[in-house]
């Protein structure tokens, strides 16, 4: 029994009991504008929403269906250039009528949603055209719009959606157009139709009977010539699960291209329409039931057409799987088996589905039923839902991404150096990143790289792969980006080329470069499955050219002051590598040495922490040294370096911990300061600037000349403040005593006094009751006006009138 048929509580429990899947980490990441990954951009100020992409057979011309425009681009060169541009925008009256219907003006433009080749000379396009769909013919040479024979705009209802936000699918076969869309303004009449039929191939559509389609979201369509069938992929409400309200299921439907409808029953209606559920799930897990995108991968040469694979991106409506994206692969042979099986029957009175136990008079979905009797056609009219579901290949998920939501994809088979075929998926995230993933034999997936294709996160409109040119085209609101499928020249050594595990690339032992596999004539070093460097490179392991020094290179000498926090930077060459620090002459005690999230090593400079440090990277059992430093104390540890504006001091993250075996410890967050950097030939001062890439190499040893990432900072700040305050207090006290003594000596020289009386005053302290001023000074009863010992009550010397002695008044 399928999990979608279980009560919702049991479904959630099963989801929680499912296997935990770790996130897939891209080995290398290229932000927008990164020098290691070249992209070609096309954008124009008046071109928006490049929804539809169409590539010529030779791969040199890309046709774009955008908002109000259809463009022809030359993509044969590195730079994308415009060949032709057709204005197909609504008139002012069309825009006004659309606004009067209550629609936003921004949605009343003409969004081109169908763009297909009809033959070698003409194309066919349909657009929303201000919520009044229209279609037109386009001549390839010269690139121009063609007026219909009647001279009137061609009706687009049933061929293109009214609303630009509604998804649709369209495919052209032998000059006829097969579409899946909605056929009314309100979006309540979904249809799968054939148009532009000639002769006996009349236009067909689904019967209006309830149950053929239930609020579908059309995703894609594919033509299999050997089967003479069109397969439609969509999501809809699964009415067969009537106890779960609006339970979404993913579907595959089929129609025969030879179908011409019934003679009496199902006239001008499909007689070969059937559908089945695509069940993307693994054992003991709830299904991923919302289809996002699906692509067709033809079978390898010399194999059966049944080996055709359909790769789909699925999401989930269940909260337990919110945010996850998975990829499932379905085999054409399994799909055919399901459609040859039993079908459910719909009770028109109750609206419920049930298995049909009796013998069936015909096999629904079989081509040629248009010639069948009315009795058989009535049977296939009510039996169009397959009882079994289509299971994924090997009954498991092909790829699971718990932290990325994928929107669109493309797929290709690539022949590796060992003549083995590998499937490569190009997955577009909702935030504008392209992930290149290769599927391995053990069922896992390896993401070779991720590439940011757009600056601002935005919905991806379309993606198209050119196998002949080896390029991926991505369309969005900003324009179109052309991305080469491989980036072999980025890997500068045999070890990096093999560790990339890119089926497009291998190490050319003759020319000592990492090159495309199809261009290597001699033995190629490549291991997609395991990335075994020791076996593939042997003696060809060369020093790294990017971004750090190889093992055996001379250590970088760092002179640091005593008591400073030192930060040694380790360059990141792969997100899948594990880095560690080693010291040749000392044990890296975790209480003394701290490793940060960016793999930098922080410690306090002391006599015990001098020595050599190496950053070691390990990936797929291959070990390489990325950076080597020799740390020594300066001969004058008290000498301080001058900070610059480019190296602001950062606050320490925590207080200093106690000493370990007499060695001081340090807080985890170091301070940035200017350090003196010494190499074999020069000495200079360097201040690491904020935002610069720190690679751990000196300018003399690295192509880029980056500054050595060593950071220092003051410690024992509290102790220094206390000592400074005590010292300042002592100095202030001594200065005060000196000034007081100088003042007394000055008074002795300038004020006439009775020496014996002054001595008696110094030897005998005054009592409070003897002072007429109330300030504790001894008073002279003979002094007039309350004067005491020659001093007035206001503190002015006697007979001075407020002036200095011996000066005129």
User: DSSP letters along 126-146, please?
Assistant: EE-TTTS-EEEEEETTTTEEE
Collapsed DSSP state (helix, strand, coil) of residue 744 = helix
Pair (565, 528) in one structural domain = no
Which residues of 165-228 form beta strands (DSSP E)?
A: 169-173, 176-182, 190-195, 217-224
Pair (147, 68) in one structural domain = yes
Higher pLDDT, 797 or 153: 153
**Residue 572 pLDDT:** 87
Domain termination residue (choose one: 399, 430, 452) = 399
Residue 801 has pLDDT above 50, yes or no: no
pLDDT in tens, 49-75: 898 999 999 999 999 999 999 999 999
**Residue 691 pLDDT:** 34
Q: How many domains does the chain have?
A: 4
In this structure, the dihedral spanned by the alpha carbons of residues 729, 730, 731 and 737, taken in order and rounded to 10 degrees, is 110
Asked whether residue 458 is assigned to any structural domain, the reply reads no
Residue 685 has pLDDT above 80, yes or no: no
**Residue 673 pLDDT:** 34
Higher pLDDT, 322 or 732: 732
**Residue 245 pLDDT:** 73
Residue 771 has pLDDT above 90, yes or no: no
Pair (362, 509) in one structural domain = no
| Per-residue pLDDT band at 585 (split at 50, 70, 90) | low
**Residue 240 pLDDT:** 87
Asked whether residue 420 is assigned to any structural domain, the reply reads no
Residue 759 has pLDDT above 80, yes or no: no
Pair (525, 671) in one structural domain = no
Distance separating alpha carbons of residues 695 and 546, to the nearest angstrom: 9
| Per-residue pLDDT band at 645 (split at 50, 70, 90) | very low
Tokens standing for residue 107:
């949605």
**Residue 403 pLDDT:** 84
Q: Are 180 and 192 in contact (CB under 8 A)?
A: yes
Looking at the chain, the whole-number percentage of residues with pLDDT higher than 90 is: 55
Pair (694, 788) in one structural domain = no
Pair (590, 709) in one structural domain = yes
Pair (69, 215) in one structural domain = yes
Q: Are 146 and 153 in contact (CB under 8 A)?
A: no
Collapsed DSSP state (helix, strand, coil) of residue 346 = strand
Distance separating alpha carbons of residues 123 and 53, to the nearest angstrom: 13
Distance separating alpha carbons of residues 616 and 359, to the nearest angstrom: 70
Pair (84, 184) in one structural domain = yes
Please report, for the domain that includes residue 394, its CATH number: 2.130.10.10
Nearest 5°: the CA angle 738, 741, 743 is 110
> Most distant CA pair in the chain: distance in Å?
150
Pair (511, 559) in one structural domain = no
DSSP output for 447-507: EEEEEE--SS-----EEEEETTTTEEEEE-SS-EEEEES--GGG--SHHHHHHHT-TTEEE
Give residue for tokens 């050599």: 612
Tell me the average pLDDT across 166-194. 95
**Residue 705 pLDDT:** 31
Asked whether residue 469 is assigned to any structural domain, the reply reads no
Distance separating alpha carbons of residues 439 and 443, to the nearest angstrom: 7
DSSP output for 276-344: EEE-B--TTS--B-EEEEEEEEPPPTTS-GGG-EEEEEEE-SSGGGTT-EEEEEEEHHHHHHHHTS-EE
User: What's the DSSP call for residue 538?
Assistant: G
Give residue for tokens 């009175």: 349
| Per-residue pLDDT band at 358 (split at 50, 70, 90) | low
Residue 1 has pLDDT above 80, yes or no: no
Distance separating alpha carbons of residues 255 and 249, to the nearest angstrom: 20
Nearest 5°: the CA angle 245, 158, 186 is 50
Element (H, E) at 12: helix 8-16
Tokens standing for residue 418:
């060992």
**Residue 712 pLDDT:** 40
Higher pLDDT, 775 or 296: 296
- CB atoms closer than 10 angstroms to residue 747: 12
Domain termination residue (choose one: 380, 399, 418) = 399
Residue 250 has pLDDT above 90, yes or no: yes
Give residue for tokens 């015909």: 362
Among candidates 328, 280, 336, 276, which has minimal Cα distance to 304?
A: 336
Residue 143 has pLDDT above 60, yes or no: yes
Pair (313, 334) in one structural domain = yes
pLDDT in tens, 280-321: 998 878 889 999 999 999 999 999 999 999 999 999 988 777
Among candidates 326, 252, 318, which has minimal Cα distance to 292?
A: 326
Nearest 5°: the CA angle 48, 325, 314 is 80
Tell me the average pLDDT across 419-443. 94
**Residue 746 pLDDT:** 62
Structural domain boundaries enclosing 763: 751-809
Distance separating alpha carbons of residues 351 and 347, to the nearest angstrom: 5
Tell me the average pLDDT across 134-142. 93
Asked whether residue 421 is assigned to any structural domain, the reply reads no
Asked whether residue 739 is assigned to any structural domain, the reply reads no
Distance separating alpha carbons of residues 510 and 524, to the nearest angstrom: 9
Residue 766 has pLDDT above 60, yes or no: no
Q: What is the mean pLDDT of the chain?
A: 79
| Range scoring the smallest mean pLDDT among 106-115, 267-276, 732-741 | 732-741
Asked whether residue 628 is assigned to any structural domain, the reply reads yes
DSSP output for 406-446: EEEEEEEEEE-TTS-EEEEEEEEETTSEEEEEEE-TTS-EE
| Range scoring the smallest mean pLDDT among 72-76, 99-103, 461-465, 543-547 | 543-547
Asked whether residue 30 is assigned to any structural domain, the reply reads no
Distance separating alpha carbons of residues 217 and 250, to the nearest angstrom: 9
Distance separating alpha carbons of residues 538 and 525, to the nearest angstrom: 10
Tell me the average pLDDT across 366-373. 91
Domain termination residue (choose one: 688, 715, 742) = 715
Pair (107, 215) in one structural domain = yes
Q: Are 666 and 603 in contact (CB under 8 A)?
A: yes
| Per-residue pLDDT band at 4 (split at 50, 70, 90) | very low
Pair (214, 341) in one structural domain = yes
Sheet holding 190-195, edge to edge: 169-173, 176-182, 190-195
Please report, for the domain that includes residue 503, its CATH number: 3.30.1680.10
Asked whether residue 31 is assigned to any structural domain, the reply reads no
Please report, for the domain that includes residue 582, its CATH number: 2.60.40.10
Distance separating alpha carbons of residues 2 and 11, to the nearest angstrom: 10
**Residue 523 pLDDT:** 85
| Per-residue pLDDT band at 639 (split at 50, 70, 90) | very low
**Residue 135 pLDDT:** 95
| Range scoring the smallest mean pLDDT among 211-225, 400-414, 613-627, 737-751 | 737-751
Q: Are 566 and 604 in contact (CB under 8 A)?
A: yes
Cβ density class 344-383: b for 16+ within 10 Å, e for less: bbbeeeeeebeebeeeeebebbebebbebeeebbebbbbb
Cβ density class 692-731: b for 16+ within 10 Å, e for less: eebbbbbbebbeeebbbbbbbbebeeeeeeeeeeeeeeee
């Amino acid at each position: 029994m399928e999990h979608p048929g279980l009560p919702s509580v049991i479904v959630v429990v099963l989801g929680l009991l499912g296997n935990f899947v770790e996130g897939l980490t891209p080995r290398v990441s290229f932000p927008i504008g990164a020098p290691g990954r070249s992209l070609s951009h096309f954008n124009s100020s008046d071109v928006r929403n490049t929804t539809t992409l169409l590539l010529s057979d030779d791969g040199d011309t890309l046709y774009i269906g955008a908002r109000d425009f259809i463009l022809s681009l030359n993509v044969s060169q590195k730079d994308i250039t415009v060949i032709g541009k057709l204005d197909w925008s609504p008139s002012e009256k069309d825009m006004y009528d659309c606004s009067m219907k209550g629609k936003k003006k921004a949605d009343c433009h003409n969004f081109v949603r169908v763009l297909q080749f009809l033959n070698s000379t003409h194309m066919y396009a349909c657009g929303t055209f201000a919520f009044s769909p229209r279609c037109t013919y386009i001549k390839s040479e010269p690139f121009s719009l063609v007026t219909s024979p009647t001279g009137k705009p061609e009706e687009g209802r049933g061929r293109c959606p009214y609303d630009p936000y509604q998804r649709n699918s369209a495919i052209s076969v032998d000059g006829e157009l097969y579409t899946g869309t909605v056929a009314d303004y309100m979006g309540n009449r979904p249809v799968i139709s054939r148009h532009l039929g000639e002769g006996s191939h009349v236009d067909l559509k689904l019967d209006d009977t309830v149950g053929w389609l239930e609020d579908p979201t059309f995703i894609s369509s594919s033509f299999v010539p050997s089967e003479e069938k069109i397969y439609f992929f969509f999501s809809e409400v699964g009415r067969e699960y009537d106890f779960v309200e609006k339970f979404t299921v993913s579907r595959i439907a089929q129609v025969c291209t030879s179908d011409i409808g019934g003679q009496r029953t199902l006239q001008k209606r499909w007689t070969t329409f059937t559908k089945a559920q695509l069940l993307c799930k693994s054992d003991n897990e709830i299904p991923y039931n919302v289809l996002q995108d699906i692509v067709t991968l033809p079978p390898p040469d010399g194999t059966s057409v049944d080996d055709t694979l359909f790769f789909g991106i699925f999401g989930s409506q269940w909260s337990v799987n919110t945010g996850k994206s998975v990829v499932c692969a379905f085999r054409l042979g399994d799909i055919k088996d399901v459609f040859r099986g039993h079908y459910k029957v719909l009770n028109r009175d109750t609206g419920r589905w049930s298995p049909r136990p009796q013998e069936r008079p015909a096999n629904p979905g079989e081509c040629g039923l248009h010639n069948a009797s009315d009795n058989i056609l009535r049977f296939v009219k009510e039996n169009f839902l397959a009882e079994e579901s289509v299971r994924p290949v090997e009954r498991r998920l092909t790829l699971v991404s718990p932290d990325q939501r994928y929107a669109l994809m493309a797929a290709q088979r690539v022949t590796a150096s060992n003549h083995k075929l590998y499937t490569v998926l190009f997955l577009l995230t909702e935030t504008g990143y392209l992930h290149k993933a290769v599927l391995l034999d053990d069922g896992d997936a390896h993401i070779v790289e991720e590439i940011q294709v757009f600056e601002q996160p935005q919905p991806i409109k379309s993606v198209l792969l050119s196998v002949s040119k080896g390029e991926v085209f991505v369309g969005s609101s900003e324009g179109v980006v052309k991305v080469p499928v491989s980036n072999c020249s980025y890997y500068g050594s045999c070890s990096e080329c093999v560790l990339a595990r890119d089926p497009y690339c291998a190490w050319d032992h003759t020319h000592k470069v990492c090159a495309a596999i199809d261009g290597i004539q001699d033995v190629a070093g490549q291991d997609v499955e395991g990335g075994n460097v020791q076996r593939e490179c042997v003696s060809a392991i060369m020093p790294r050219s990017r971004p750090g020094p190889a093992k055996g290179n001379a250590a970088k000498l760092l002179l640091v002051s005593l008591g400073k926090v030192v930060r040694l930077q380790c360059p990141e060459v792969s997100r899948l590598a594990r880095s560690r620090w080693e010291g040749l002459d000392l044990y890296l005690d975790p209480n003394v040495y701290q490793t940060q999230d960016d793999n930098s090593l922080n410690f306090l400079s002391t006599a015990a922490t001098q020595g050599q440090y190496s950053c070691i990277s390990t990936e797929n059992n291959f070990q390489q040294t990325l950076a080597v430093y020799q740390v020594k104390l300066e001969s004058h540890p008290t000498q301080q370096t001058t900070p610059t504006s480019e190296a602001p001091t950062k606050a320490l993250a925590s207080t200093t911990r106690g000493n370990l075996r007499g060695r001081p410890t340090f807080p985890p967050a170091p301070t940035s300061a200017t350090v003196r950097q010494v190499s074999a030939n020069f000495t200079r001062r360097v201040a690491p600037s904020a935002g610069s890439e720190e690679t751990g190499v000196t300018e003399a040893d690295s192509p880029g000349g980056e500054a050595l990432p060593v950071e220092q900072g003051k410690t024992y700040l509290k102790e220094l403040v206390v000592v400074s305050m005590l010292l300042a207090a002592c100095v202030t006290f001594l200065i005060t005593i000196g000034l007081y003594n100088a003042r007394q000596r000055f008074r002795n020289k300038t004020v006439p006094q009775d020496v014996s009386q002054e001595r008696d005053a110094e030897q005998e302290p005054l009592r409070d009751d003897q002072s007429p001023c109330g300030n504790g000074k001894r008073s002279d009863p003979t002094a007039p006006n309350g004067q005491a010992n020659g001093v007035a009550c206001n503190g002015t010397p006697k007979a001075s009138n407020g002036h200095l002695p011996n000066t005129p008044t």
